[in-house]
């Protein structure tokens, strides 16, 4: 783990116990439902949830009845502990404690890589996106859902939220910034849509001729 991630580990370790019951859990369930709509239900596909928290999205996908091989990674050991308890005994589900910037997965492994409401906490989001692209199969899809700051209202809103929740140093992107990063990483198609006014869903399709960023 990078030393820059230690504040996030402490914060999310502390949050793990109330993550599924606090007021924000309603918001997270809505986000999970939207992402489930974006994943095509093909049997045998593999999906990685980067910053999986307590495994709520993986649980939603499992309960949907789709024959998807599910994997989650989170830098917080307490989040992973809660996720393992929640998903204990469920087939086709794997959980890993680790960093999004240096994941343990082989290149070209997943049909979908999802990162929901997590990227702004990453100390090096560009490297995280490069890793997501590396482990994504050619033709696979990365789905990034996160706050964005394309207006003054959004900037002010998230500054207030940051102070109120004590999130520390975070990084929010503009639409075009995410588009540029994913295009530079070799995504041939990048689409974006607004969700719940303050969130941006960015979907990138990895080119079938792209070399992995770390190659």
Domain span at 134: 3-206
Whether 208 and 139 have beta carbons less than 8 Å apart is answered as yes
- How many domains does the structure of the chain reveal? 1
Residue 212 within a domain: no
Q: How many CB atoms lie within 10 A of CB 67?
A: 12
Dihedral sign from CA coordinates of 100, 199, 38, 189: negative
Per the domain annotation, does 165 fall within a domain?
A: yes
Does a structural domain hold residue 211?
A: no
Tell whether 214 is covered by a domain. no
Give one DSSP letter per residue of 100-114, joined into a string: TTS-SPPTT-EEEEE
The full DSSP string for 120-152 is GG-SSHHHHHHHHHHHEEEEEEEEEEEEB-SSH
Q: Angle at which helices 175-184 and 125-135 pack, to 10 degrees?
A: 50
The CATH number for 127's domain is: 3.40.50.150
Residue 150 located in a structural domain: yes
pLDDT of residue 74: 97
Q: What is the pLDDT along the chain (215 residues), one digit of tens a residue?
A: 567 899 889 989 999 999 999 888 999 999 999 999 999 878 899 999 999 999 999 999 998 877 899 999 999 999 999 999 999 999 999 999 999 999 999 999 999 999 999 999 999 999 999 999 999 999 999 999 999 988 877 777 767 766 666 566 788 899 999 999 999 999 999 999 999 989 999 999 999 886 665 54
Give SS3 for 80: helix
**Which DSSP category does 168 fall into?**
-
Question: What DSSP character marks residue 106?
Answer: P
Q: What is the pLDDT of residue 214?
A: 53
What is the per-residue pLDDT for 71?
98
The verdict on residue 215 lying in a domain is: no
Q: 3-state SS string over 51-66? A: CCCCCHHHHHHHHCCC
Residue 55 in any domain: the answer is yes
DSSP assignment, residue 211?
P
The predicted pLDDT at position 37 comes to 94
pLDDT at residue 151, as a whole number = 80
Task: Specify if 156 maps to a domain.
Answer: yes
Instruction: Report the helix count and the strand count for the chain, using DSSP H and E.
Output: 7, 7
C-alpha to C-alpha distance for 82 and 69, rounded to whole angstroms: 20
């Amino acid at each position: 783990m990078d030393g820059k991630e230690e504040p996030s580990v402490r914060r999310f370790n502390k949050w793990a116990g109330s993550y599924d019951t606090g007021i924000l859990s309603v918001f997270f369930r809505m986000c999970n439902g939207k992402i489930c709509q974006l994943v095509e239900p093909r049997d045998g596909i593999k999906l990685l949830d980067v910053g999986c928290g307590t495994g709520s999205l993986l649980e939603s996908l499992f309960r949907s009845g789709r024959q998807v091989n599910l994997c989650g990674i989170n830098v917080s050991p307490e989040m992973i502990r809660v996720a393992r308890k929640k998903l204990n005994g469920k087939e086709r589900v794997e959980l890993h404690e680790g960093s999004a910037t240096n994941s343990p997965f082989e290149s070209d492994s997943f049909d979908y890589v999802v990162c929901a409401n997590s990227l702004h906490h990453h100390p090096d989001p560009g490297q995280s996106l490069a890793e997501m692209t590396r482990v994504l199969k050619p033709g696979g899809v990365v789905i990034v859902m996160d706050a964005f700051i394309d207006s003054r209202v959004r900037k002010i809103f998230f500054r207030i939220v940051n102070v109120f929740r004590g999130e520390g140093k975070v990084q929010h992107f503009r639409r075009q910034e995410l588009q540029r990063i994913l295009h530079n990483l070799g995504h041939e198609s990048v689409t974006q849509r607004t969700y719940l006014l303050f969130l941006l869903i960015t979907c990138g399709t990895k080119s079938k001729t792209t070399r992995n960023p770390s190659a």
